[in-house]
Amino acid sequence: MASTVAFTPAVAVGANVQHSRRTSSLRPVPRARPVAARGSAERDGAAAAVQARSGRTIEECEADAVAGKFPAAPPPTRPQPPSGTPEIRPLDMAKRPRRNRRSPALRAAFQETSITPANLVLPLFIHEGEEDTPIGAMPGCFRLGWRHGLLEEVYKSRDVGVNSFVLFPKVPDGLKTQTGDEAYNDNGLVPRTIRLLKDKYPDIVIYTDVALDPYSSDGHDGIVREDGVIMNDETVHQLCKQAVSQARAGADVVSPSDMMDGRVGAIRAALDAEGFNDVSIMSYTAKYASSFYGPFREALDSNPRFGDKKTYQMNPANYREALIETAADEAEGADILLVILLLCTQSARLSRSFFASLPVSCTKSYVINCQVKPGLPYLDIIRLLRDNSALPIAAYQVNLPALK
C-alpha cells in the first residue's frame, strides 16, 4: 500500500537522500522497484502462464510447493505518481480513515445508512370506481380502482422491490356520517381491498390508516360535538373497532393517525382481545398541524368541513412536546420506531434508475410503531426523538412530486 514504505539497512544506505527545508533533516527516498518497470508484454506473458492449466493433480501441485517449486504468478506492481510529485516520507499515522473508503467494495461494506426499495412503504389511494382517476394536487398520482388499477400498481411496485403498501380510501359521500361508522364495516372499501391483495399477493405487507376523517361527514379525525369539540374517548372507541375490522381482513400493521390521547394502548388491548396479537401498530406519534397535508386531503376528499385540526394535531412551534407523545406511545405498546420514507406517488411512475442508484444492502423486515409527520420540515424533531429513544424512528413525508 502507498501508506507505508519499509527501509532495510541495505536500502537505506544506497537510497537517494533529499534535504527537507522544513525539518532540516535528511530523509531517505526509496528507489522505484525494478519490478514495476517491467513491460506490459512481460506482465501479459506472466498472467497467461498463471491462467494456463497443466493438467496435474492437486497432490502433484502440493508436492511441488513443498519442494519449493512454486508456479509463476503475476509480479507485484505499484502505480506510479505523476511526474513532479514530491518524494516524501509517509506521515506517521496509526489511523487512516480513508483506508475504509478506498474502493467501492469497502465503502459498501462499511456504509452506516442505506435505503433500498425494501425500506419504502408506498401509499395507495383507492376508490370504488373501475377506472383510475387523477389527483389534481398530485401530478402523476391517481385514485386507483380497487379491483383493477390497484392490482396492476402493486404488481409493478413489486417488480422494482417495493413490497409494503399503505391504503388510503376515498369513501363515497353517501357513506359518511358524523360518527364514521363505515370505518369498521367489514365489507367496506379497505377490508375488501386487503382481502383482495392478500389473496393475490400473500407475501406483501399491508399497512392501514386508522382515523375517522375519510368516513366522517365533518371531515375530522374524531367525532365532533355540537359545540365543535372533538370527543377523545368516544373517538378512540370507534378507532378500536376500525383497527379490529382491518386486522380481521388481514392487515399486517394498523396505523392510528388521529392523534387522540390513549388510542395506542386501547387499540393494542382491542387487538389482543380479538386474538390479533401479531398485528402491529404504527402510531403517528408526532403529527404536526401542517398545510403540507392539503394535497393528501384532496386525494381522500377528507378536508374538514369547518375549523381546523389544531386541538389534536401538534403545534408546529412545540419541540419538547414530541417527547411527551413518544413516551406515551412507548408506554402504551409501541415497539419499534423505524426511519422510513413514504412517497406520495404510485410506483408505476417511479423511475427504475432511481432504484438502480440505491445501494444494495441486506435489510431486516421491520414493523413501524412510531412516526414523525410531516418528516422533512421536522428533522430536528426526528433528531430529538433519536437522541431520547433507543427505538428506530419513522418519518412520513407528504406531497412529494411524482418521480419520472
Four-way CATH pick for 119-355+363-388: 3.30.300.90, 3.40.50.2000, 3.40.50.720, 3.20.20.70: 3.20.20.70
Cell reading at 296? 393528501
- pLDDT for 397 equals 65
The answer to whether 326 touches 370, Cβ cutoff 8 Å, is yes
Query: What whole-number distance in Å separates Cα of residue 129 and Cα of residue 352?
Result: 29
- pLDDT for 33 equals 44
- Element (H or E) spanning 155, and its range? helix 149-159
List phi, psi (to 5°) of 126: -125, 155
List phi, psi (to 5°) of 207: -100, 150
Query: What whole-number distance in Å separates Cα of residue 149 and Cα of residue 167?
Result: 13
Residues 26-58 pLDDT 10s: 444 444 444 444 445 555 554 454 456 778 899
Query: What whole-number distance in Å separates Cα of residue 297 and Cα of residue 304?
Result: 9
Residue 62 zone, left/alpha/beta (φ > 0; ψ -120 to 50; rest): alpha
For the chain, residues with pLDDT lower than 50 are 1-39, 46-47, 49-50, 336-370, 399-404
HEC per residue, 224-275: ECCCCCEEHHHHHHHHHHHHHHHHHHCCCEEEECCCCCCHHHHHHHHHHHCC
Please state whether the predicted TM-score (pTM) of the whole model is above 0.85: no
**Average pLDDT value for the chain:** 77
Residue ranges of the domains in the chain?
A: 119-355+363-388
- pLDDT for 21 equals 41
- pLDDT for 374 equals 57
- pLDDT for 380 equals 79
- pLDDT for 231 equals 96
In the block, cell 503475476 appears at 74
- pLDDT for 235 equals 96
Residues 182-215 pLDDT 10s: 999 999 999 999 999 999 999 999 999 999 999 9
- pLDDT for 392 equals 63
Q: What angle do CA 58, 64, 65 make, to 5 degrees?
A: 90
Query: What whole-number distance in Å separates Cα of residue 362 and Cα of residue 226?
Result: 53
- pLDDT for 301 equals 84
Residue 97 zone, left/alpha/beta (φ > 0; ψ -120 to 50; rest): alpha
Give, rounded to a whole angstrom, the gap between the first and last alpha carbons of the chain. 44
The residues annotated with a catalytic role in the active site are: 287, 373
